[in-house]
Structures are given as C-alpha cells and as structure tokens.
Structure 1
Amino acid sequence: METALENLSKEDLLKVISSRDEKIDSLTSLNSSLVQERDYLKSQVEMFKRMQFGQKRERFEGDPNQTLLPFEADAIAVAQQQESIKEKIEYIRKRPNHHGRAKLPEHLPVEEIEIHPEGDLSAMVCIGKEVTEELECEPARFFIKRYIRYKYAAKNGEGVKIAELPERVIDKGIPGAGLLASILVDKYVDHLPLYRQKQRFARENIQLASLTIEGWTKEALFKLEPLYQQLVFDTKSKGYLQVDETPIKVLDSDKKGAAHQGYYWVYHAPLEGTVLFDYSPTRGQLAPLPILGNFKGYLQTDGYVVYEKYARSKDITHLACWAHARREFEKALDNDRSKAEKALLLIQKLYAVERIAREGQLDTAQIKELRLKESLPIINEMGKWIFQEIKSTLPKSQVGKAMAYAYARWDALSAYLYDGSLRIDNNPVENAIRPIALGRKNYLFAGSHEAAQRAAMIYSFCAICKKHEVNTFQWLRYTLENIMSINHKNIKELYPQNFKNISR
C-alpha cells in the first residue's frame, strides 16, 4: 500500500487523503448519530419502566397430580372449621370495632325500635333508657303513583269538568320522573350498564324488557335537548374556555365487526363553572369548529396540534398548561435527573404561589399582583435557563423533548399572568373528563353516533352538578318534571347551578 501511494502524483495523493478524510467524517457523524439514538432509546426504556405500575400478573399451571375439583373435606376437618368459626364470631361480637363514633346525618328519618326486658315487669319501675343508633338502608323503593281524577257534571247538564293530568315525561308511558332520573344517574354517574339495572329490577320482581329500558333512557335524554342547546349557545359566548378531548368507542363503523373511534370534546368555563361535552366522530381540525369557530377570548389547551389553528386567531389569547409541561420533565427524571429536577423545582414554586392565592382567598386583582411579584421572576429565570441549556441538550433525549415542549409554548405558558381569573393549568377540564374513563370500562361503547351525542348531553349536566355540589338525582328529577312546562325564556333556571336557589 505504501509503495502504491509513493507512485501517486501529488494531486492524486491529495484526492486519496481527501477521500479518506470524508470517510472519517462520515463515520464520525454516523457514530455521533448512533450515540444519540442509543441515549434516546435508553431514556425511552427508563421512562417506560417508571410508567409501569404494579407487578405483572402471575401465570401458572396447575399441578397435574393435584386432586380434581370438586372435593369434600373429611368430617374431622369440618368439625374443626365449625369450632373455629364459632370462636371467631364470639371474638368479633365482643371486640370493640371502632375507636370513635361517626356522627349520623341529622336530616335522615328515624325509625325507633323499643326493646323492653323479658319477663314480668309489673313489680318494677322504669328508671331510664339507653339509646343506640345505627345507620341502615333498604333497597330502592318502587311504588305505583296512581292519578285518580274525579269528574264533575253540572247539575243543569251543560258540561263536565275533570282535572288535567300533570305533565308526564313520557306521554302514555309508565315510568315516572324519579324512575327515569334514577336510571340515568345509575348509568351515567355510577356507570351501571342498563343490562345490570335490568337485573336489579328483576330482583324486585319487576320484569322489564331490555328494549323498554333503552327506550325510556332515550326518551328521557331527548327531553333534555332544549336545555342542552341553551348550554351550547351560552358556552360559545364565554370569554374563557378550557378544552380537552377523550376517545369513545361507537358501534357505527364502516368496517364490519369493528367499532368506530369517536371523541368527546369537552369545554370548561372556569369562571361560571359550566361544562359542555360535544361528540364528534373525528379528532381533526373541524371537530371543535361548532364551538370555537367564532370564539373570542382566552383559550387554554394542551399541546395538541389542532388547537394551534384556533390559537392563531387574532381574537384568541392562547394559554398553555403548566401541568403538561411538568409531566414532560417528570418523564425525564431517569434521563437527566439534575436538569429535570431543576425544572420541576421551579414549576413547584409557581404552584406554591397559586396555593398562597387560593388559601388567602385573594380576589382577581390581588392574584394578578401576587403573580407579577412572585411568579414572573420564576418564569423569567426558567426561560433563561431553558434557552441556554436547550442548545447543548440532545433534542431526541427526554429532557430535550421536555425543554422543546416548554420552549415552543413559552408565551402561552406565561399568558396566565395577564389576568387573576386565569388558571395555571388545564386540570379542571381533565377532572371533568375522568368519569368517562370509568364509564368506558363498564359499558365499553356507545351504540351509535346519535347515542354518543345524547350521552354527551347528560355528561355535561352531571359534570356541572358535581362542580356545584348539586345532588344529580334530585336535579334531574326536578328538571324532567318541569322542562316541558317551563317558559322557554326561563329555561336557564333549570341549570344545575341554579337548582340550589329553587324553592321545592
């Protein structure tokens, strides 16, 4: 090789050296890329390890020599077990099972049971009594409400009078407003599917067909449509909305045997405490258009790209979510602990300011003043730190991703300082979505796109009831009883937040 190089001209020798240098640079670049890829994959593995929750399910095969089930214990073992149970019952009976007594609710009715000593008490005088109370319940009480309307005829024979039948939720149907409210609350608040409710009716010897219960549910939800339409209209006019979305399986699908992936788009108005669920078959840019198409004001969202189109509107001030930014840095703890912990410590300080404002019950002007004094310097410090560190941080590393997430949304993350009414994060709307996840585990899917939208109505009002600490059953029963007779101009009086002010 050396002899061959000696015979080359100077120009050819320079070409060989240049070619070799290019190959070395290429290999160096490839090696650097592989190192970055390795670090990225390593960080991903570490993150997935942190995300894993609990132990894996154990699987085992039975011993082939084990006695087959069922089997019966011998008589001696049965006798020993019975004696053990007897001793356990005696122990439980005598053992004090609490350190203190919880106060019983004062609003509950009381059923008194008087107990006198056995035997002849004629020669004895009662000198006092001891009172013991316990909280008890019985299954839901079903009863028949029978309307008996008497007819009156004029003595001169010129007419007959009869009282009008009160407005009913389902005309000529048998369910009352209380029963319908119970079915809806059980399904959409307690996540009890209709087929399980049917089983509960059967235990009370009330035989109902599945189609009957489904029809009742559909009809009751249909009655709520005017109130929901008013909620949609009012939500569009709010000046501050938090938005998020969550998936829902729907049986309507172009593919046979498959479920369609639809989405609930959820809009929370923090100042009024209202929540609107709106169903859409898609997660695309057009999905939030019915609500956000003409929206003006503050819009707070996570980092989903669809919201960016609306955030660019000159009439919208976009707010990002510090909780999402914090989660990104939490994922990076196993990638670069020192940088991740520094970011998390600064974010923690921002939330400490919010806690001071909340515990001090400050008004909006005071909150804004407090944030500008305490939070703004923290945000400036963090912004400078990210700007300096992001240049020397691998972009594909988890900490690099966390920095890029915050850096790209820095103005939106800082925008909550504009007004003391604004929230630091999007958590309230996420809290409103959580019940949907529980529902999905129980009834799995909606039967159709129309059914999913009907469910969006009741989910909206259930979420508002929860935010305003209103008994959902009582509100729903009252609303079903009155929504058909109320003046349309006063329909907002039926909102859950106004229910507390209604004199029953």
Structure 2
Amino acid sequence: MTPAPAILPDDPDILRDMIVSLQTEVARLSASARVYAALVQSLKIRIARLQKQKFGASSEKIDREIEQLELLLEDVKIAIAAADPSPDIREHDVSDGVVSSPRQRGKPKVSDTTPRERLVLDPGEACPACGGPLRLVGEDVTEILDFIAAKLKVVETARLKKSCRHCETLVQPEAPSRPVPRGMAGTGLLAHILVSKFDDHIPLYRQNEIFARQGVDIPRSTLIDWCGQAVAVLRPLTDLIRQDVVKADLLHADDTPIQVLDPRLRQAGKPRGVKEGRIWSYLRDPRPWGGSDPPAVAYWFSPDRKGINPQTHLAQFRGILQADAYAGFRDLYKPDATGTVHVREAACWAHLRRAFH
C-alpha cells in the first residue's frame, strides 16, 4: 500500500532509499510469482497426463499419485494466496510487460435448507445532518458464510421414583435403551466418531485431542471400544443392505487392495506384520436406464483374493454381473447341475481397454 503524502519524509536521500527498497521488494515478489506460476502449471500438466492414463495399467497407483500431486498443488496455491490475500488485484510485471490474471475463486453453493440469520443495521429515524425524518428507499444485502463449532453436551436422564400412598408400591420408569450397553456415548457422538474415522480418515488419537479441546477427555481405549460396539450395533443393518443389493438383476463388481495388520507375520520374523487384504464392492445403480431402485453398495472384506470370496458373496445373486476378467468370477458364470446359468457375464470395457492402451 502506498503511504499517504503527509507521512512521507522530506529528505531526498531517505526517499531515494525507500524507493530502492520498494523496487527490491517488488522484484522479489514478481520473481516469486513467476516461480509459483511455473510450479502450478507444471503440476497441472503432470496431473492431466496422469488422468489420461487413468484407464491404463496400475490405475490404482496412478490415482494415489494424482491425489499426492493435487495436495501439493493445493499447498502451492495456499502459499500464493497467503502472499497476496486479494484475488481481485492483478500483478504487473514491468520487466517483460506481462500482466498476470487474477486468481480464480469459486463462489460457495449454499443449500436452501441452510439456516440463515438476518442482521439489520438501521441508521435510525432522524437525519444526522439536519435532524429531519428518514424514509426507507431500499437496502443493500451482503452474505457471510459462518461456521458454528460443534460442541459436546451431557444429557442427564432422571428417573423419578414414586411410592403409592395406599399400597407402598414403588413406581419408576424404565431406563431408555443405549446404543452401547452401560456406555456413556449417545447416538450422535457415536455417529460422529465413526464418520470421522472411516470417512474423514481422522485417527482416534486425533479425535481424542479434538474432544480434549472441547473439554472432554475420552481415552483412546474407550474410543476403540465404542467403535467396536457401534460396528456390532450396525451389523444387522449392513446385513440387510447386502441382502437387498444381491437381489438386483445387474451388479457391478470390483475389489481393491488394503493393508492389513497380521500378528502372525511378526511372529514369523517380519517386523512390519502387514499383508494385503481385499475390499470387495458390489454396486447396484439402475438410474442410467430409468430404474426406480435407489443406488446401493455392499462391501465385504477378505484377507486374500481367492475366488471363493466373490463366489460366497454372490451365492444368491441372479442376473448380469459386470466385472473385470478376474478368474475368481468364472465359476459364477458356469451352469449348475441342471444346466441353468444364474449369472451372465458383462465384460468391463475399461479393463479391456488396458490391453490396447
């Protein structure tokens, strides 16, 4: 920002030093801007090239590399924004005459169901200049999106005991059920812990730190027990989802590797004690061809990739299965003892494309 003339010194030597200092700072910022711009362009080109290879071999590794590059690109853009907080100011490079365009900022899309709070700033009823009455001619409305921090609360349930004045019978309401027997966690807290861990990938020790900042110290061992007990409570629901998904007449199937801890490997002399398990996913989504059933996904875990796993998962499935050419699916396509084919194969074009590209 240019200082006001009233605070500038009168000494020509001091002014000359100030100009030299400002020119040096401008040159440094311009050089930094060019370096950032080149780095951003390089990262975008690398990400674009990797995305073109997305359907090639080892696409899972490419996905992970794209994620890492996008994180790096995000950090670079944050550094640019920190150096110049205003996205509307254009930077002029006098040396080569290039004017960089302002940073692009996407406007947040706010749902109609988002709560709104209206603050009205009223200048009053009398004119501050002459004291005359004011009349409303319009208003200017601006919006600020704010965040209300989550907070924990303790819900006390008091069960009153009453005795009958005639027969001395004690009467007390039954205690309400809890998602975790004899546990202190409510349904909202359990849902938050599970979503934070399995969807937002926040480890339990970090959740412990977050809760401690809110005034509640929940030991990590307790969080682990709550997660396990909540999974047990939800297991009937997952079983129902699986049963409903395999009733569809068309499924998309795929599996993805996952690192699994195995204590037996440590005993065998392998210090990491990690092996590769599998997450099997079966997707039902009839929306592209006008189906009325809601989309759903069923997941299974297995410690290996043996063909018996999908054959067990889809033992009751009857219909078309779209999957890759994994040999473990082949027995599903074979006719049974009566010669009836229960599962028809629909080959995956994305996997087939890998043989050519």
Bin the TM-score by the shorter chain: 0.5 to 0.7
Preserved CA contact (<8 Å) 1:253 1:260: no
Report the CA distance between 1:189 and its aligned residue: 1.8
Match in the other structure for 1:70: none
Given candidates 265, 273, 281, the residue that maps to 2:280 is 265
Given candidates 166, 172, 178, the residue that maps to 1:162 is 172
Q: What pairs up with 1:332-411 in 2 under 5 angstroms?
A: none
Distance 1:186 1:199 in 2: 13
Could you say what secondary structure the match of 1:142 adopts?
Answer: coil
Report the CA distance between 1:112 and its aligned residue: 4.1
Match in the other structure for 1:110: 116
Distance 1:216 1:143 in 2: 18
Match in the other structure for 1:209: 219
Match in the other structure for 1:319: 346
Could you say what secondary structure the match of 2:354 adopts?
Answer: helix
Report the CA distance between 1:184 and its aligned residue: 1.0
Preserved CA contact (<8 Å) 2:87 2:105: no
Distance 1:131 1:124 in 2: 25
Report the CA distance between 1:114 and its aligned residue: 4.8
Report the CA distance between 1:168 and its aligned residue: 1.3
Could you say what secondary structure the match of 2:265 adopts?
Answer: coil
Q: Describe the shift of the 1:300–1:199 C-alpha distance in structure 2 as closer, same or farther (beyond 3 A).
A: same
Q: Describe the shift of the 1:153–1:134 C-alpha distance in structure 2 as closer, same or farther (beyond 3 A).
A: same
Q: What pairs up with 1:156-305 in 2 under 5 angstroms?
A: 156-256=166-266, 257=271, 258-271=273-286, 272=293, 273-305=295-327
Q: What pairs up with 1:460-475 in 2 under 5 angstroms?
A: none
CA deviation vs aligned residue, 1:237-257 (integer Å, no higher than 9, x gap)? 433222111111111242213
Could you say what secondary structure the match of 1:254 adopts?
Answer: helix
Report the CA distance between 1:236 and its aligned residue: 4.0
Distance 1:308 1:94 in 2: 61
Report the CA distance between 1:124 and its aligned residue: 6.4
Report the CA distance between 1:144 and its aligned residue: 1.4
Return the letter of the residue paired with 1:312: K
Report the CA distance between 1:319 and its aligned residue: 1.0
Q: Describe the shift of the 1:109–1:153 C-alpha distance in structure 2 as closer, same or farther (beyond 3 A).
A: farther
CA deviation vs aligned residue, 1:415-450 (integer Å, no higher than 9, x gap)? xxxxxxxxxxxxxxxxxxxxxxxxxxxxxxxxxxxx
Q: Which structure's relative contact order is higher, taking Cα pairs within 8 Å and 6+ residues apart?
A: 1
Could you say what secondary structure the match of 1:174 adopts?
Answer: coil
Return the letter of the residue paired with 1:209: P
Preserved CA contact (<8 Å) 2:87 2:104: no
Return the letter of the residue paired with 2:334: R
Return the letter of the residue paired with 1:244: D
User: TM-score normalised to the size of structure 2?
Assistant: 0.59
Report the CA distance between 1:147 and its aligned residue: 1.5
Distance 2:229 2:277 in 1: 23
CA deviation vs aligned residue, 1:432-479 (integer Å, no higher than 9, x gap)? xxxxxxxxxxxxxxxxxxxxxxxxxxxxxxxxxxxxxxxxxxxxxxxx
Distance 2:180 2:301 in 1: 26
CA deviation vs aligned residue, 1:283-304 (integer Å, no higher than 9, x gap)? 0121223223354321221011
Q: Describe the shift of the 1:198–1:124 C-alpha distance in structure 2 as closer, same or farther (beyond 3 A).
A: farther
Q: Describe the shift of the 1:315–1:165 C-alpha distance in structure 2 as closer, same or farther (beyond 3 A).
A: same
Preserved CA contact (<8 Å) 1:261 1:281: yes
Larger fraction in helix: 1
Q: Describe the shift of the 1:210–1:103 C-alpha distance in structure 2 as closer, same or farther (beyond 3 A).
A: closer
Unpaired stretches in structure 2, ≥5 consecutive residues: 1-55, 70-83, 91-101, 287-292, 336-340
Could you say what secondary structure the match of 1:267 adopts?
Answer: strand
Could you say what secondary structure the match of 2:148 adopts?
Answer: coil
Distance 1:100 1:300 in 2: 38
Report the CA distance between 1:138 and its aligned residue: 2.5
CA deviation vs aligned residue, 1:144-199 (integer Å, no higher than 9, x gap)? 11222333332324423223332211122111100111111112222222222122
Return the letter of the residue paired with 2:199: V
Return the letter of the residue paired with 1:163: P
Query: Which region of structure 1 is more displaced relative to structure 2, 276-285 or 185-194?
Result: 185-194
Distance 1:285 1:103 in 2: 45
Report the CA distance between 1:233 and its aligned residue: 3.1
Given candidates 142, 146, 155, the residue that maps to 1:136 is 146
Return the letter of the residue paired with 1:290: T
Distance 2:283 2:199 in 1: 18
Q: How many residues align?
A: 251
Return the letter of the residue paired with 1:108: T
Return the letter of the residue paired with 2:307: Q
Q: Percent sequence identity over matched residues?
A: 30
Larger fraction in strand: 2
User: TM-score normalised to the size of structure 1?
Assistant: 0.43
Distance 1:98 1:309 in 2: 53
Could you say what secondary structure the match of 1:260 adopts?
Answer: strand
CA deviation vs aligned residue, 1:312-353 (integer Å, no higher than 9, x gap)? 233221110112222332x2xxxxxxxxxxxxxxxxxxxxxx
Could you say what secondary structure the match of 2:264 adopts?
Answer: coil
Preserved CA contact (<8 Å) 2:127 2:134: no
Query: Which region of structure 1 is more displaced relative to structure 2, 156-165 or 174-183?
Result: 156-165
Match in the other structure for 2:76: none
Could you say what secondary structure the match of 1:224 adopts?
Answer: helix
Preserved CA contact (<8 Å) 2:278 2:303: yes
Could you say what secondary structure the match of 1:328 adopts?
Answer: coil
Return the letter of the residue paired with 1:205: G
Preserved CA contact (<8 Å) 1:298 1:316: yes
